[in-house]
Structure 1
Amino acid sequence: MNALSPMPMIAATETLLAEVVLHEGAALTVLRGGTRIAARRAISCLIEPEPGDLVLLGGPAAQPYVLAVLERPGSRPIRLAVAGDMEVASDGGRLTLNAETLVMSARTGQVAIEDLALSGGKVAARFGRIGLVAEAIESLVTRLLTRARRSYRFVEETDHLRAQGVDHRASGHMNLRGETAVMHAAVLVKVDAAQIHMG
């Protein structure tokens, strides 16, 4: 066989247009030339065909493959779906997602980013439970408001508070206790109560 000899045909194939009439699980039924036939979605066809779609067929005539979804009537959403695991990668490049609204839903998830920067105008979060482990946390806010039914804080070493003014109020009992207690005031120390016990 020389270089000009034609390549032998492995199998008889054809490429045609058809309309999807039924989609149940992984099974597809398409209408081609007035005849309903079973079809399979090719791996390269990431858009999941839906009834009414105009698709491109290729492969064996008995059970062809849906190679691509060409048209979809109306404004129904387009779903990219694969069977099994899927990885979207940009090796050495940048992956960008742009949308008016971004919605992510999964039963479990993992995010591992070495250097993360988040920017947004407003964040509303709702969690059942949060566990946080960090070497250091630094926060810079203009106003911080916390509302809790119960609050516990355990500090192994030193706890420092620096403020222009400090106001602690308790509608019930307040207990300040330490091995050594020191109180300094540059101008005035005032203790006011119906009863005062010292010693």
Structure 2
Amino acid sequence: MKKNVAAKLDEDIVFQAVGTVVRVEGTTFIVRSDRGDLRCRRAVSCLVEPMLHDFVMAGGQLSGASGAGATYVLAVLERESPNAQLSCEGDLSLKVGAKLQVVASEGLDLVTPRHMNMTAAEVGIHTSRAKVFASEILAIGSEIVGELANVKLKGTFFDKVFERVTERVQRSFRRVDEIDQLKAKQMDYLAEETLCLRSENMVAVAKELVKVDGEQIHFG
């Protein structure tokens, strides 16, 4: 009989209680319940970070002999504020078998002091305005196709290196305030109607041959 009583006293007691968080000490939450003040840690399944004055569910396992054990905050039941924070000390991974959709009526912020990587077979962005602020932008791809009504570029330096550049425009206007220099192995200009060259001084220098051909040639 005494052995049975001792065995019952040694049995662990599993309990649940509800109460209010009255104090937060680092990672320990003091929950005031009908069982008294419980010192609880946040359970792994409780992703919502408990806050002061939250009404929570606590539970744990106590040793029948010593009364010692572990007590956890299992869930946040009620809160005065509608705000909530999902917290995880380690890595957090969301895995779904189908589609994952995040909807926010006021805005969406993604903030990290380290790296952010995104991998997808196709990415689509639909917005009325987009802004990108970066000290350096690196884009690597096989093809870029853009259809824009207006394009404005402003900067200090603009360098481009291509094997071939083809441009076709209806009208082209360019203004150079200082020096416009072109170096080429061969140049070919073709104007269907009129070609005008105007300057205060003009110098044409050739090592071997200078040829001017036309039905009429006027100098002076």
Q: Does TM, normalized by the shorter one, top 0.5?
A: yes
CA contact (8 A) 2:17 2:35 kept: no
Task: Tell me which structure has the larger Cα radius of gyration.
Answer: 2
In 1, the alpha carbon distance for the partners of 2:59 and 2:35 equals 17
Which of residues 182, 187, 194 in structure 1 aligns to 2:200? Answer: 194
Structure-1 residue corresponding to 2:155: 148
Structure-1 residue corresponding to 2:95: 89
Compute the displacement of 1:34 (Å). Answer: 8.2
**Which segment is superposed worse, 26-35 or 119-128?**
26-35
Structure-1 residue corresponding to 2:213: none
Deviations along 1:81-126, one digit per CA (max 9) or x if unpaired, are: 11211101112x0000000210110122111111111111111111
In 2, the alpha carbon distance for the partners of 1:135 and 1:117 equals 18
TM-score computed with the length of structure 1 as normaliser: 0.88
In 2, the alpha carbon distance for the partners of 1:198 and 1:48 equals 79
CA contact (8 A) 2:17 2:34 kept: no
Q: In structure 1, list runs of 5 or more residues that go unmatched.
A: 1-9
In 2, the alpha carbon distance for the partners of 1:15 and 1:71 equals 16
Compute the displacement of 1:177 (Å). Answer: 2.1
When the two chains are superposed, the root-mean-square deviation of aligned CA atoms in Å is: 1.6
In 1, the alpha carbon distance for the partners of 2:45 and 2:157 equals 55
The answer to whether residue 109 in structure 2 is matched with residue 103 in structure 1 is yes
**Which segment is superposed worse, 57-66 or 130-139?**
57-66
Compute the displacement of 1:42 (Å). Answer: 1.0
Structure-1 residue corresponding to 2:208: none
The answer to whether residue 173 in structure 2 is matched with residue 167 in structure 1 is yes
Structure-1 residue corresponding to 2:76: 69
Q: Number of residues paired by the alignment?
A: 187
Superposed, which structure 2 residues align to 1:97-136 within 5 Å? 97-100=102-105, 101-107=107-113, 108-136=115-143
In 2, the alpha carbon distance for the partners of 1:24 and 1:166 equals 70
Superposed, which structure 2 residues align to 1:33-44 within 5 Å? 33=34, 35-44=36-45
Matched to 1:164, the amino acid is Q
User: Cα–Cα, structure 1 residues 113 and 25, in superposed 2: closer, same or farther, change >3 Å?
Assistant: farther
Structure 1 SS opposite 2:122? coil
In 1, the alpha carbon distance for the partners of 2:149 and 2:27 equals 54
Q: Which has the higher helix share?
A: 2
Structure-1 residue corresponding to 2:86: 80
Runs of 4+ in structure 1 off by over 4 angstroms are none
Structure-1 residue corresponding to 2:61: 60
Compute the displacement of 1:181 (Å). Answer: 0.7
